[in-house]
Structure 1
Amino acid sequence: MAYGFAKRLLAATLAVGLLGACSKHNAATMEESAAVPMADLSKPDAGGSAPSPAKADLGVLLAYEHRLRIRLPGERIATQAQAVQAACNGGKLGACAVLGMNQSGGDEPSATLQVRIVPEGVEPLIALAGKGDEISERSIQADDLATAVRNNTMLQDRLQKEHARLLEFQDRKDLKVADVLTLSNRIAEIEAQLQGAQQEAAQQQRRIATQLVTFNFETTRAQASRSEIGEAFRDFGGIVAAVIAFLIRAFAVLLPVLAVLLPLVWLIRRTLRKRRKA
Structure 2
Amino acid sequence: MHHPDGKSTTLRRLALVLLSSLTLSACSGGGDSSSAELAGARGKAGALLAYEHQLTLSLPADLVSARLTATREACENAQFGACNVLRIENGKYRSQVIVRIVPDGVEPLVKLASQGAQLAERVTTAEDLADAVADVQRQQERLKAQQKRLDELAARRDITVGDLIALSKEQAAIENDLQALAQAAAGQQRRLDTNRLTLNFEPTDSSEGMSNLRQAFSNILGNLADGTASAVEKISHALPFVILAFPLALIWVWLWRKFVRRRS
Q: What is the TM-score normalised by the length of structure 2?
A: 0.59
**Length, aligned pairs only:** 168
Name the residue aligned to 1:21: none
Moved more, 215-224 or 117-126: 215-224
In 1: Cα distance, 2:82 partner to 2:46 partner: 26
Matched, 1:83 2:70: yes
Larger radius of gyration: 1
SS of structure 1 residue aligned to 2:85 = strand
Name the residue aligned to 2:155: 171
SS of structure 2 residue aligned to 1:113 = strand
Q: Contact conserved, 1:70 with 1:215, CA < 8 A, in 2?
A: yes
Deviation at 1:160, TM superposition (A): 1.1
Sort the Cα spacing of 1:188 and 1:218 in 2 relative to 1 into closer, same or farther, 3 A: same
Sort the Cα spacing of 1:223 and 1:192 in 2 relative to 1 into closer, same or farther, 3 A: closer
In 2: Cα distance, 1:150 partner to 1:224 partner: 47
- Listed one character per residue, the Cα deviations across residues 11-40 of structure 1 (whole Å, up to 9, x for unaligned) are xxxxxxxxxxxxxxxxxxxxxxxxxxxxxx
In 2: Cα distance, 1:222 partner to 1:118 partner: 31
Q: Contact conserved, 2:59 with 2:116, CA < 8 A, in 1?
A: no
* RMSD between aligned residues: 2.2
Aligned pairs for 1:92-111 (under 5 A) are 92-105=79-92, 108=93, 110-111=94-95
Q: Contact conserved, 2:52 with 2:125, CA < 8 A, in 1?
A: yes
Deviation at 1:132, TM superposition (A): 8.4
Matched, 1:196 2:180: yes
- Structure with the bigger percentage of helix: 1
Matched, 1:139 2:126: no
In 2: Cα distance, 1:87 partner to 1:77 partner: 15
In 2: Cα distance, 1:143 partner to 1:58 partner: 15
The one of the two structures with greater contact order (alpha-carbon pairs below 8 A, sep at least 6) is 2
In 2: Cα distance, 1:129 partner to 1:171 partner: 60
Q: Contact conserved, 1:73 with 1:220, CA < 8 A, in 2?
A: yes
- Runs of 4 or more above 2 Å deviation: 221-225
Sort the Cα spacing of 1:181 and 1:175 in 2 relative to 1 into closer, same or farther, 3 A: same
Q: What is the TM-score normalised by the length of structure 1?
A: 0.56
- Specify the code of the residue in structure 1 equivalent to 2:168: S
Deviation at 1:205, TM superposition (A): 0.4
Name the residue aligned to 1:46: none
Extract unaligned runs of 5+ from structure 2.
1-43, 213-264
Name the residue aligned to 1:126: 110
Q: Contact conserved, 1:111 with 1:216, CA < 8 A, in 2?
A: yes
Name the residue aligned to 2:238: none
Deviation at 1:173, TM superposition (A): 2.0
Deviation at 1:178, TM superposition (A): 2.1
In 1: Cα distance, 2:62 partner to 2:141 partner: 56
